[in-house]
Amino acid sequence: MDSIILRGPHKDFEAIKKLDENGMEFWLARELMPLLGYEKWQNFEEVVGKAARACIQSGQVVDNHFTGISKMIKIAKNAVRPAKDYKLDRYACYLIAQNGDTSKEPIALAQTYFALQTRRQEIFENLPEDEKRLFVRGQVKSQNKKLMGTAKAAGVTKFGVFNDAGYLGLYGMHLADVEKRKVIKKANCSTGQEQPNWPQIFLG
């Protein structure tokens, strides 16, 4: 599994993700195309069409997942022209991978990647609530370590102030005020150490 994640579209796929004005993630088909091993837009658009039809057949509203847009592309030194593109959500990207040419290694890897991600989500959804909280806490703790390492490398020395600034940015109030408003108390976690019963905020 680790080999698939490392060789698959994972990093590049997440790298081209964008957020719209409502904070919703999306991908552009023309940027996704080369990650899946396609060179010609006409060929890739056929795959997008097949994926959109699969979306309809699954009972979904296709416009909620595939949105046709137009963008300007450069065709010469000082010339541009409008070109068709698609704004895709994660489900649309999954369907595109499922309907792609499996003789292309990137497509085969993408199918496996999305299958693994789907299975992980299914497993997570079936966990008891306590285990879900522990899992999320572990994920956030890991990301916080990366954040603090990056901050240290950037020259941050007053980590208390740095961390408090995160709460101020997210909640509009300092940590002490967040604790007071949410009535947060210390609780013993599964490690036996005193920990807050909520995870630190990751500023990612």
Please state the pTM of the whole predicted model.
0.56
Higher model confidence: residue 162 or residue 84? 84
Residues 86 and 161 placed together within one structural domain of the fold: no
Q: In this predicted structure, which of 76-85, 108-117, 118-127 has the lowest mean pLDDT? A: 118-127
In-domain check, residue 202: no
Contact 62, 56 (CB under 8 A): yes
Confidence at 84, pLDDT banded by 50, 70, 90:
very high
The closest alpha carbon to 164, from 138, 198, 131, 200, belongs to 200
Is pLDDT above 50 for 188?
no
Rounded-to-10 torsion of CA 6, 10, 12, 16: -170
Per the structure, the complete domain to which residue 181 belongs is given by 129-196
Condensed to tens digits (0 to 9), the pLDDT of residues 85-118 reads: 999 998 999 999 999 998 998 888 888 877 777 7
Residues 168 and 121 placed together within one structural domain of the fold: no
Contact 48, 29 (CB under 8 A): yes
The closest alpha carbon to 150, from 203, 89, 194, belongs to 203
In-domain check, residue 83: yes
Residues 92 and 159 placed together within one structural domain of the fold: no
Domain boundary among 95, 125, 155: 125
In-domain check, residue 201: no
In-domain check, residue 203: no
Residues 99 and 21 placed together within one structural domain of the fold: yes
Residues 92 and 69 placed together within one structural domain of the fold: yes
